[in-house]
Amino acid sequence: MRGMMQQTNPKHIVLGITGGIAAYKAAELSRLLVKQGITVQVAMTDAATHFITSATMQALTGRPVLVDQWQDDKGISHIQSTHAADTIVIVPATADFIAKLAHGLADDLLSTLCLARNCPLIVAPAMNKQMWSNAATQRNVQQLIADGVTLLGPVSGIQACGEEGMGRMLEAEELARDIVALLQGSETLDRTSLPLTPRERGLDGLNILITAGPTYEAIDAVRGITNRSSGKMGYAIAQAAQELGAEVTLVSGPTALSHPYGTLVVDVTSAAEMFDAVKKHVDSADIFIGVAAVADYRVAQSSAQKIKKNGGNLTLELVPNPDILAYVAALPNAPFCVGFAAESENLREYAEQKRRSKKLPLLAANLAQQAIGADDNELILFDDAGEHPLPRTDKLALARVLLLHASSLYHKGKSK
Ligand code: PMT
């Protein structure tokens, strides 16, 4: 096989499997990794053996599977043997195992190997959507990211329980591709020996700049003006754009969300900072999507100290913030611009007015009170051909449709 990893730099990974229904995908993943010349040492939790047998994994990897912490010398030789690993990959990672990792627990062989590792850790979460969105899981995920753990996925889709939402594990082909890329760097990746992923069909090679979330305009040292944007819509667009092959830069106001995998995230606080970050990145952007709920006004003179109460009224002078989208759309070599409009009434009329006044080829309109903070949304797309309503569904699904529409308009414009 051309470009197999073993020809240049043999790699060794520990593939940890935890107890979730997506464990079956670990079999195909190990097959793809072994095919790439990678040595795969499987370590399973006891729960994982209820979903897939160690015999299957042993047959696919050609190595005995590690399960029992208490066999032989209480796992010490296993810990030493994993010190040869280039990375540990947990596929699937259940909510329970993510919690263990976040808290440094080591009460079975796999969690002990993770805690005792001296190599990077990659985690592919898989769980029910409620478990994924639970504040405890999100807190644990944030902790893993802060600890330098790489997260692959999850994505939104149909789940084992029949529900649809965020928490589905990436497919084995996508995981194999990402793991190989992370091991060797994308430039040396043998891209011919694995099937195409969705990410390679669509926005391939395009640079997409996205703003997301709210902005925070300081009044004084501890108070400010902000809004209820969660960032979910913008982050979903960033994730979908990355899946479709784009290079994504996400300029994000303050949110509680984890950074979408594979995107460059520039964290900002105020509209002025968001404007600066956009100006810095806009030159290389092919498409700009303004999803952020940017504060229209900021306090003229914010106080460095906490303003003291004096019993009387307090008047704040507000001055307008720059309109970032209008600025980008008016640039001489403007990228293809997609605007959003959040309206609480007269949605169609105000949205189309916004699109025309900012001369945007595409604008997505939503009802502010239904869209902001929610997991799902309903959009009406406005372009030169008219309006295209998209029914209420989760934000990632909407993001994918929006991007396919934007991509087709972008390519049509380029071919003129
Ligand atoms: O973050 P979520 O909780 O998921 O909620 C999603 C959302 C409701 C915030 C999102 O879907 C949305 O509608 N974003 C645009 C919100 C907004 O500020 O709309 P607007 O109508 O005020 O602004 C119109 C457009 O100009 C937007 O593309 C906005 O990003 C942009 N703008 C506005 C003001 C400003 N100073 N600079 C800008 O770039």
Q: What is the mean pLDDT of residues 264-274?
A: 97
Q: What is the mean pLDDT of residues 248-264?
A: 93
Kindly report the protein residue whose alpha carbon is nearest to atom 26 of ligand 1.
325
Are 79 and 91 within 8 A, CB to CB? no
- Nearest by Cα to 328 from 363, 365, 290: 290
Are 154 and 236 within 8 A, CB to CB? no
Pairing of strands 155-158, 164-168: antiparallel
Residue 205 — pLDDT band, cuts 50, 70, 90? Answer: confident
Residue 174 Cα to ligand 1 midpoint, Å, equals 32
Q: What is the mean pLDDT of residues 348-371?
A: 97
Q: What is the pLDDT of residue 191?
A: 34
Q: What is the mean pLDDT of residues 28-32?
A: 98
- Please provide the size of the chain in residues: 416
Supply the mean pLDDT for the chain: 88
What ranges in 118-256 are assigned the alpha helix state H? Answer: 129-133, 135-146, 172-184, 232-243
Higher confidence at residue 139 or residue 202?
A: 139
Higher confidence at residue 232 or residue 152?
A: 232
Asked whether residue 406 carries a pLDDT value surpassing 60, the answer given is yes
In ligand 1, the atom with minimum distance to the C-alpha of 214 is 1
Q: What is the mean pLDDT of residues 252-273?
A: 94
Q: What is the mean pLDDT of residues 22-50?
A: 97
| Alpha-carbon span 9 to 29, nearest angstrom | 20
- Nearest by Cα to 292 from 309, 275, 315, 276: 275
- Nearest by Cα to 270 from 258, 248, 252, 291: 252
Residue 126 per-residue DSSP state: -
- Nearest by Cα to 135 from 290, 225, 233, 258: 258
Higher confidence at residue 333 or residue 193?
A: 333
Buried b (16+ CB within 10 A) or exposed e, 129-167: bebbeeeebeebbebbeeeebbbbbbbbbebeeeeebbb
* Architecture, CATH, for domain 198-415: 3-Layer(aba) Sandwich (3.40)
Instruction: Name the residues annotated as catalytic.
Output: 161
Pairing of strands 87-93, 318-320: unpaired
Asked whether residue 192 carries a pLDDT value surpassing 70, the answer given is no
Could you tell me the pTM of the whole model?
Answer: 0.61
Give the containing element (helix H, strand E) for 101.
Answer: helix 95-103
Residue 270 Cα to ligand 1 midpoint, Å, equals 14
Candidate from 14-28, 146-160, 212-226, 374-388 with smallest mean pLDDT: 146-160
Asked whether residue 238 carries a pLDDT value surpassing 90, the answer given is yes
Residue 71 — pLDDT band, cuts 50, 70, 90? Answer: low
Kindly list the protein residues whose Cβ atom lies closer than 6 A to any atom of ligand 1.
211, 213, 229-234, 271, 290-294, 296, 321, 323-325, 339-342, 354, 366, 368, 371-373
Pairing of strands 297-299, 318-320: antiparallel
Angle in degrees, 0-180, between the axes of helices 54-61 and 24-35, rounded to the nearest 10: 10
Residue 370 Cα to ligand 1 midpoint, Å, equals 14
Neighbours of 323 (CB within 10 A): 16
Candidate from 68-72, 307-311, 363-367, 407-411 with smallest mean pLDDT: 68-72
- Where does the chain hold its CATH 3.40.50.10300 domain(s)? 198-415
Asked whether residue 220 carries a pLDDT value surpassing 60, the answer given is yes
Residue 110 — pLDDT band, cuts 50, 70, 90? Answer: very high
Q: What is the mean pLDDT of residues 345-359?
A: 97
Asked whether residue 197 carries a pLDDT value surpassing 50, the answer given is no
Higher confidence at residue 412 or residue 415?
A: 412
The structure tokens 């990228």 sit at 335
Residue 365 — pLDDT band, cuts 50, 70, 90? Answer: very high
- Where does the chain hold its CATH 3.40.50.1950 domain(s)? 12-188
Residue 86 — pLDDT band, cuts 50, 70, 90? Answer: very high
Q: What is the mean pLDDT of residues 356-365?
A: 97
Candidate from 88-92, 117-121, 289-293 with smallest mean pLDDT: 117-121
In ligand 1, the atom with minimum distance to the C-alpha of 236 is 4
Tokens matching residue 116: 């005792």
Q: What is the mean pLDDT of residues 91-102?
A: 98
Residue 213 Cα to ligand 1 midpoint, Å, equals 8
Sequence-distant (6+) residues with CB within 8 A of 297 are: 217, 225, 318, 319, 320, 321
Q: Specify the CATH superfamily of domain 12-188.
A: Flavin prenyltransferase-like (3.40.50.1950)
Neighbours of 189 (CB within 10 A): 19
Q: Is the dihedral of CA 393, 398, 404, 408 positive or negative?
A: positive
- Bridge partners of residue 389, in order along the sequence: 380
Q: What is the mean pLDDT of residues 222-231?
A: 98
